[in-house]
Amino acid sequence: MREAPARGLAPLLLADGRLPVGAYTYSAGLEPAVAAGLTRDQIPDLLRARLRTTAVTEAAATVLALRAARGDPVDYGPVQRALAARTPAAPLREASAALGRGVHRLARRLAPDHPAVTALATARTASLRPLRPVALGALGAVLDVNERELAYGVVYDELQTIASAALKLLPGDPLDSVAWLLAAEPDAESAVATALTVRTPGELPARTPPLTEQWALEHQRRERRLFLA
């Protein structure tokens, strides 16, 4: 088994937008929103909306997957099914599975024989490979991060993904993104706190924002796209 990165660096690694898992192909809903008319000055509103909806569900699912990864035997099925059911738009499920493949690849590279990693091979629902939060739970087990660190990594990734995509989709002063992220701190903390209260897959919040689902369906039909979703 390969050694995982040093414990102190692991939470920083999870929060690094350069993590080689293909996340640069994803805008966390910004590109579909821009196509629907979202303007640059509305990005802070989008961040707050995502933190109160999608980010809570995904952070909670990731924590549940981390707990499953530490079980004996490891069984991701319940959280995979619960998350798929709470992601009604097929394009978003497919995007999550595509990102999950990148996370799975990284986890295999770090610790190919780890039980949390080998169990991902059987984590399928309706022909979907492991969704990103499930794969992140396995990676969290490999890196030996705690639940709060992992949940915060997921929430921060939501923020930085949108901020990074904005530089391509709605160019402006890059320093704005720093202000956006800092202003979002209260909602980020709330999302993490809520995610950590979820104890079972059945309690996983169904916080799907309807407009995001609609925009994702419209986005899939567009011929010219920079991002998966």
Is 0.85 topped by the overall pTM?
A: yes
Question: Mean pLDDT of all residues in the chain?
Answer: 91
Mean pLDDT of 148-159: 95
Fill in the DSSP letter of residue 128.
B
The residue-averaged pLDDT of 186-197 equals 97
Ramachandran angles phi, psi of 143, nearest 5°? -85, -5
Average of per-residue pLDDT across 141-153: 96
Residue 166, pLDDT above cutoff 90 = yes
How many other β-carbons are positioned within 10 Å of the β-carbon of residue 1?
A: 10
Confidence band for 18, pLDDT divided at 50, 70 and 90: confident
Length of the chain: 229
Q: What is the pLDDT of residues 116-146, one digit of tens each?
A: 999 998 777 656 789 999 999 999 999 999 9
Q: Of 116, 157, 156, nearest to 140 (Cα)?
A: 116
Using alpha carbons, select from 199, 185, 131 the residue that is nearest to residue 156: 185
Do the beta carbons of residue 101 and residue 68 sit within 8 Å? Answer: no
Residue 1 has a pLDDT of 47
Among the listed residues 1, 49, 15, the one whose alpha carbon sits nearest the alpha carbon of residue 145? 15
Residue extents of the structural domains in the chain: 33-220
Fold observed for domain 33-220: Urease accessory protein UreF (1.10.4190)
Residue 11: both structure tokens together: 């939470």
More confident residue, 20 or 96: 96
pLDDT at res. 127: 64
